[in-house]
Amino acid sequence: GVTSPGSTPFNFNNVLTGLNSNKTYYFKAYAHNTGGQSTNTTIKRFTTLKNIPPTVTTNNATGITKTSAALNGVINAIGGSPVDSYGFYWGTSPTSLTNRFEVGVTSPGSTPFSFNNVLTGLTCSRTYYYKAYATNSAGTSYGKIKYFTTLSCYGKYRNPKKLEL
């Protein structure tokens, strides 16, 4: 600033932007008075955080019905930069999770951060596979693949033709 603090000690700060990740920076504070005198401090240093992808966990599905299920995930750590996307990949084969559902695009304020999505329009008596994901500028992380099976099309009986009354 350019204004005299009036009394001492006087605390001041500055926010630096555009810094590179995992890099050491050096700085020192100083002050000038109208007489041109300056007070210098010792040189200090800091290292910015390494930019790493977030960590995410896939949790068990809940609320499973014949045609829907809630997928659940947790962002455990944001990583070195804000999360800009998170959600689930899902499908009917563990090797082909081609459907993507983005739950959020705003970085959570704190971790762990739980999120979920209810899939609807599913087929009864079918197994579905899914995994949670979270992305930041360093990359995308995935949770483990989990699966669930929607409830039977015939209620608790698997083959209604064999029912005896």
Nearest CA to 68 among 128, 108, 8?
128
96 vs 94: CA distance, rounded Å:
6
CATH assignment of the domain containing 61: 2.60.40.10
In sign, the C-alpha dihedral spanning 103, 104, 109, 110 is positive
The domain of 95 spans 55-149
The one-letter amino acid at 29: A
In the block, residue with structure tokens 């008075």 = 33
pLDDT at 133: 98
Neighbours of 110 (CB within 10 A): 7
In a domain, 119, yes or no: yes
23 vs 87: CA distance, rounded Å:
31
In a domain, 129, yes or no: yes
Which tens digits make up the pLDDT trace of 73-91? Answer: 999 999 888 999 999 999 9
pLDDT at 62: 98
In a domain, 104, yes or no: yes
In a domain, 8, yes or no: no
In a domain, 137, yes or no: yes
In a domain, 83, yes or no: yes
How many distinct structural domains can be found in the chain?
1
Question: Side-chain half-sphere of 17: how many Cα atoms within 13 Å?
Answer: 0
> What's the predicted TM-score (pTM) here?
0.70
In a domain, 124, yes or no: yes
Question: Tokens standing for 152?
Answer: 């039977």
Phi, psi (rounded to 5 degrees) for 57: -120, 140
In sign, the C-alpha dihedral spanning 90, 92, 98, 101 is negative
Q: What are the angstrom distances between the C-alpha of 129 and each of 41, 54, 93, 115?
A: 59, 22, 6, 17
In a domain, 134, yes or no: yes
With a cut of 70, list the residues of the chain below it in pLDDT.
1-6, 37, 40, 156-165
Cα angle: 62, vertex 68, 70; to 5 degrees: 30
